[in-house]
Structure 1
Amino acid sequence: MSVLGFDIGNENCVVAVTKQRGIDVLLNDESKRETPAVVSFGEKQRFLGSAGAASTTMNPRSTVFQVKRLIGVKFREPSVQDDLRLLPFETSEGPNGGVLVHLQYLNERHTFTPVQILAMLFAHLKQITEKNLEIPVSDCVIGIPSYFTDLQRREYLYAAEIGGLRPQRLMHDCTATALGYGLYRTDFSNSGPTNVVFVDIGHCDTQVTVAAFEPGHMKLLSHAFDSNLGGRDFDEVLFRYFATQFKEQYHIDIDSNVRASIRLRASCEKLKKVLSANPEAPLNIECLMEEKDVKGFIKRDDFEKLSSNLLERISIPCRKALADSGVTVHKIDSVELVGSGSRIPAITRILASLFRREPRRTLNASECVARGCALQCAMLSPTFRVREYEIQMYCRSQVQDSFPFSIGISVAEDTSGRPSYYLLIQEGHPFPSIKMFTSRRSDTLHFEVFYANQNGLPSSLSTKISSYTIGPSQVSHTEKVKVKVRIYLNIHGIVTLEAVSVSLNRYALIL
């Protein structure tokens, strides 16, 4: 039996598997270690992964990609609208305020939710895994951004279950990276913690985590993020630059042609990588639009000037992570830079200036999350035996993470009708964890769980997590019962109602 780690990126997916002697990254049908997160619907069949990516240009309006950004979000949210403007397929608002995807499939118009699309990707990755290992697989740990809300986490679990998987844990990306980093290091000092900053600049977001390592121990100190700053934003800077240039030089409007836009964005992504290693780079595309061949040229210095506002934002989550961790810059021992969008030289210079040390790239930028997830899955699985040192190091197979949001509860009073507010979980609190609160009342107990700090959320439309009603209590109006409620922030970072006890004088009822 094998256990898996999944890194579902905005652009590509990576699958790692734990074997008896280590962790391997699996190859797809094209012998590549990364599988595009693309689902394309043709006239007679679906194309997933690499085959779906090959159909993007020819069938753009029936090809769904960047679905990670559409999971558990509201259609009317401004950042979601900004994302949808860059996507070629048709979308609308669903009954619950979420996103619906409309496309042609089997000569009919179909509507899918992002959860259904993500489930197709999970099923495809499961198929690739079983083909590689020649055995059925189900147990897995899935990497998610630390800024995912309760609804996004629930929908990820739902999509994985539809895809035939059995998630053991949803794990923060940088936590998985830190786990893989700490396991293989043997040079931690005995005189005090070794503080490491992990900066993960992905395709669509930036995440920063501060972790403290000691021999036999790892502690996550803080998480910070910018959910709308990633490699694709730098691609968009190049896209806008050349779209304006081609409109003036060749008299073509790239924005009016979906296929031309997709081809130019793909070329700009490749150009960005060339600029990471060279001071200047050309751009040549044949028959981009209206049978016109186009040529362009840009210097790295000009690209950095055009991206100056994006580069300035890189330091914001870094500073917040440092402030929340309580660690000063002078006590940072190392900075690890990972993620597909981390190769821009200007980003390295900014981080070096901020942390006063050169960022290191000792981890595989694209595979570290999947590897860390596979390692955690092995620790959680009863079929794998992990060395005693490693179990002690990571709290008996369960890595205790740091929760990036504050959670409060609002309890409706039974007499005045006015709610009372309590801070249940402080930002940075370790999880999994259990919290309790007590209320005395003579009728129904109704309370809501919500995110306490709206400014710290990636979504601006709703802070509500869930609501519960307990009762009514079978007592007279002159009597009051004591209701104890246990709230569990589980291993996935999801809030659940663990238990309720109702007592009157000497009697108690456990629900």
Structure 2
Amino acid sequence: MTDSEPISIGIDLGTTYSCVATWMNNHVEIIANDQGNRTTPSYVAFSDQDRLIGEAAKMQIGRNPMNTIFDAKRFIGRRFDDENAKKAMMHMPVKVSADAHNKPKFDVEAYGEQKSFYPEEISAMVLTKLKQTAEAFIGKTVRNAVITVPAYFNDAQRQATKDAGAIAGLNVLRIINEPTAAAVAYGLDKMSSKEKRVLIFDLGGGTFDVSLLTMEDGVFEVKATAGNTYLG
């Protein structure tokens, strides 16, 4: 990458933690945040005076649970009456309600008044934090990003994730499957031109996914995926 080339970043937008990386000096550099950590909690909190994102938001959840939002990824691109969304609501202190189009929204008290935020907006706040983390490290404005999503995400969930990126001021070049990103990270796409089967285990902070991929000439195809969305 030369100084004249636009900077691109890769973002793993996770259920409980997220991280950002870029290609630098011929290798992938996972970028540490302002706390020195290479992962950032996917938490957003509101108070009368402030909005907190990441570690600061997670640290104060004990004294401000009703205004601290996490697990937004479990709602993004889903309907309010979706069974998975209903299950997620049972584990959250934040009030979740439906808008006129049956989309879920988080109802909190922010800046001294009642406000509602969609999952895309909360995810965008986390993405903005990661964008700022990358810019502080690289020393340049970042616009282009690739964001990973679970292989089982449907079109609505993928589009909602892309929308979150746009809200964060990112030009989302691609939405790619998390197991595919893992396979590429390990260089499996360069090992052989012959067809191979690859099994990817992804044990995250909030979910566990297993995906079966086929690989041929550097092209991956997800054949099957399974897992537990509450094992992590």
Q: TM over 0.5: same fold?
A: yes
1:122 Cα shift?
A: 1.2
SS in 1 for 2:186: helix
The whole-number CA distance in structure 2 between the counterparts of 1:90 and 1:229 is 20
1:229 Cα shift?
A: 4.4
SS in 1 for 2:61: coil
| Higher helix residue share | 1
Alpha-carbon spacing, 1:149–1:40, altered in 2? closer, same or farther (3 Å): same
| Matching residue of 2:164 | 159
* One-letter code aligned to 1:47: L
The whole-number CA distance in structure 1 between the counterparts of 2:9 and 2:147 is 8
The whole-number CA distance in structure 1 between the counterparts of 2:209 and 2:189 is 25
The whole-number CA distance in structure 2 between the counterparts of 1:221 and 1:115 is 25
1:221 Cα shift?
A: 5.3
| Matching residue of 1:320 | none
Alpha-carbon spacing, 1:123–1:79, altered in 2? closer, same or farther (3 Å): same
Q: Where does 1:79-94 land on structure 2 (aligned, <5 Å)?
A: 79-94=84-99
Q: Where does 1:431-510 land on structure 2 (aligned, <5 Å)?
A: none
Q: Could you tell which deviates more after superposition, 76-85 or 159-168?
A: 76-85
Alpha-carbon spacing, 1:125–1:227, altered in 2? closer, same or farther (3 Å): same
| Matching residue of 1:117 | 122
Unaligned ranges ≥5, structure 1: 232-511
- 2:221 pairs with 1:220: yes
The whole-number CA distance in structure 1 between the counterparts of 2:221 and 2:155 is 20
Identity of aligned residues (%): 27
| Matching residue of 2:197 | 195
Judge conservation of contact 2:44–2:53 (CA < 8 Å) in 1: yes
| Matching residue of 1:60 | 65
1:180 Cα shift?
A: 1.8
Judge conservation of contact 1:212–1:221 (CA < 8 Å) in 2: no
- 2:176 pairs with 1:176: no
* One-letter code aligned to 2:203: I
The whole-number CA distance in structure 2 between the counterparts of 1:112 and 1:52 is 16
| Matching residue of 2:9 | 4
Higher relative CO (CA 8 A, sep ≥ 6), structure 1 or 2?
A: 2
SS in 1 for 2:187: helix
1:75 Cα shift?
A: 1.3
1:207 Cα shift?
A: 3.4
2:141 to 125, 136, 139: 136
Judge conservation of contact 1:92–1:100 (CA < 8 Å) in 2: yes
The whole-number CA distance in structure 2 between the counterparts of 1:228 and 1:183 is 26
The whole-number CA distance in structure 2 between the counterparts of 1:221 and 1:101 is 33
SS in 2 for 1:115: helix
1:117 Cα shift?
A: 1.0
The whole-number CA distance in structure 1 between the counterparts of 2:169 and 2:107 is 24
Deviations 1:37-82 (CA, angstroms, capped at 9, x unpaired):
0001012010101111111112111000010001111112222111
1:152 Cα shift?
A: 1.2
The whole-number CA distance in structure 2 between the counterparts of 1:217 and 1:27 is 30
Unaligned ranges ≥5, structure 2: 1-5
Alpha-carbon spacing, 1:179–1:86, altered in 2? closer, same or farther (3 Å): same
The whole-number CA distance in structure 2 between the counterparts of 1:78 and 1:217 is 37
The whole-number CA distance in structure 1 between the counterparts of 2:75 and 2:220 is 31
SS in 1 for 2:80: coil
CA RMSD of aligned residues (A): 1.9
TM-score (norm 1): 0.42
1:181 Cα shift?
A: 2.0
Q: Which of 1 and 2 has greater Rg?
A: 1
Deviations 1:448-498 (CA, angstroms, capped at 9, x unpaired):
xxxxxxxxxxxxxxxxxxxxxxxxxxxxxxxxxxxxxxxxxxxxxxxxxxx
The whole-number CA distance in structure 2 between the counterparts of 1:169 and 1:42 is 34
The whole-number CA distance in structure 1 between the counterparts of 2:227 and 2:92 is 21
- 2:131 pairs with 1:126: yes
The whole-number CA distance in structure 1 between the counterparts of 2:182 and 2:151 is 12
Alpha-carbon spacing, 1:184–1:194, altered in 2? closer, same or farther (3 Å): closer
Deviations 1:173-207 (CA, angstroms, capped at 9, x unpaired):
00111112235865x5x8x5443211223322423
Q: Could you tell which deviates more after superposition, 222-231 or 125-134?
A: 222-231
The whole-number CA distance in structure 1 between the counterparts of 2:61 and 2:230 is 24
Judge conservation of contact 2:21–2:134 (CA < 8 Å) in 1: no
The whole-number CA distance in structure 1 between the counterparts of 2:7 and 2:126 is 20
SS in 1 for 2:108: strand
The whole-number CA distance in structure 2 between the counterparts of 1:2 and 1:217 is 24
The whole-number CA distance in structure 2 between the counterparts of 1:121 and 1:229 is 21
